[in-house]
Amino acid sequence: MSAEKMRIIESVEVVGPGRVALGWSGGERVELDLSGWLADRAFAPLRHAGEFAKVRIGEWGHGLEWPSGVEMGADSLWLETLSALRREDARRFVEWRMRHGLSLTKAAEALGLSRRMVAYYSDGEHAVPRHVLLACVGWEAGGVDARLAS
């Protein structure tokens, strides 16, 4: 998958109580245990196996949705996918970007990287080097530059 394209959910299948198998546009296939999410009051309708089984891909592949109105966004599911794939480096990098509302371009500017490399790191296509993760910590410690966060 090109590092310039947004990752979307292409397939979903219920594989057990609180468990789904997701297929992503980048070719990743992963089983996710979402039972921890179901403890949250917002996801209470999904505690019933019949409702959980009615999962479908949301519009444009940007999340999962159920007839009860419950939704799970692709960004959060991508973080879970990175963990399931044992890509905690990429998960920490994406969480840093999300925490500060940084686009690929703004994150690249903040770290002195190319936009393409930031996309590769965010997609989990390349391992995020330790020095880049340390730069993220340093960027946070130095305060957010308003020009980059806007």
* pLDDT tens digits along 127-149: 999 999 999 999 988 865 544 55
Show the low-confidence residues of the chain (pLDDT under 70): 1-6, 143-150
The pLDDT of residue 144 is 57
Tell me the CATH class for 88-149: mainly alpha
pTM: 0.81
Residues with Cβ within 8 Å of residue 146, at least 6 apart in sequence: none
CATH 1.10.260.40 domain residues, the chain: 88-149
Written as one letter, the residue type at 135 is A
Helix pair 88-99, 130-141: axis angle to 10 deg? 20
Query: In this prediction, what percent of the chain has a pLDDT beyond 70?
Result: 91
Fold (topology level) of 9-84? NE0471 N-terminal domain-like (3.30.2020)
